[in-house]
Amino acid sequence: MCAGYTSGYGGYAVMVCNGFRIFLCHFLLLLTYTVSAAEPGQTLPVVPQPFPAPEFSLKGEGGKQYRLSDFRGQVVLLNFWATWCPPCRREMPSMERAWKILKDKGVVILAINVGEDEDKVFEFTGQYPVSFPLPLDLDASVVRQYRVTGLPTTYIINPKGLITHRTMGSRDWDQADIIKQLLDMRQQKQGVE
């Protein structure tokens, strides 16, 4: 077991170990970096029990109304986000690229902004141009209905209106295996297949 003490600004920890301990510590460090570098392809985690997506009706850009039931029969990627949330911002460009691939193929992207007004969102889209709908959940009532606890959270809703997948944290939405997974879901007739 290595012993440690801390010193200096910010409480930098300094290793006090020798011989085998030094080897062990460096081995663990190397392992940490090696594992980090070997990031496998991203997937969409399946929810154990698919359940009906709660209905909502929200206004978006220019006062346009978005009702979830209007998209029944299509796969819906329902994302909850906010402009101040770094991983939300990070995934927006890949979501836009995915949208360009998917929009005429029976997959819809709805990115619901939580608690911010149209001006804030408009300012944001100046920096991160997106062309998919951005409904506004001004009083955070829809995000509560969906029992979201942190942003970003994304649900995948199948053509039958059931939530089948959920992700927390950003994803590269235009990654080939995610696109394939979303396109394959169009074929689902009942729940998860």
**Binding interface with another protein (CB under 8 A):** 1-4, 6, 9-15, 25-26, 28-30, 32-33, 35-36, 38-40, 42-43, 45, 82, 84-87, 114-117, 138-140, 143, 149-151, 166-169
Where b means 16+ CB within 10 Å and e means fewer, 13-40 reads: eeeeeeeeeeeeeeeeeeeeeeeeeeee
Kindly state the smallest distance separating residue 157's Cβ from another protein, in Å.
Answer: 17
Total residue count of the chain as it appears in this document: 193
Kindly state the smallest distance separating residue 177's Cβ from another protein, in Å.
Answer: 12
Residue 28 or 176 having the CB closest to another protein:
28
Kindly state the smallest distance separating residue 5's Cβ from another protein, in Å.
Answer: 8
Kindly state the smallest distance separating residue 104's Cβ from another protein, in Å.
Answer: 29
Residue 44 or 159 having the CB closest to another protein:
44
Q: Terminal CA-to-CA distance of the chain, rounded, Å?
A: 49
Enter the tokens of residue 38: 């070997």
Q: Cα separation of 59 and 10, whole Å?
A: 46
Amino acid at 8: G
Residue 42 or 125 having the CB closest to another protein:
42
Residue 10 or 63 having the CB closest to another protein:
10
Are the C-beta atoms of 177 and 43 separated by less than 8 Å? Answer: yes
Residue 37 or 189 having the CB closest to another protein:
37
Cα 57 → chain centroid = 21
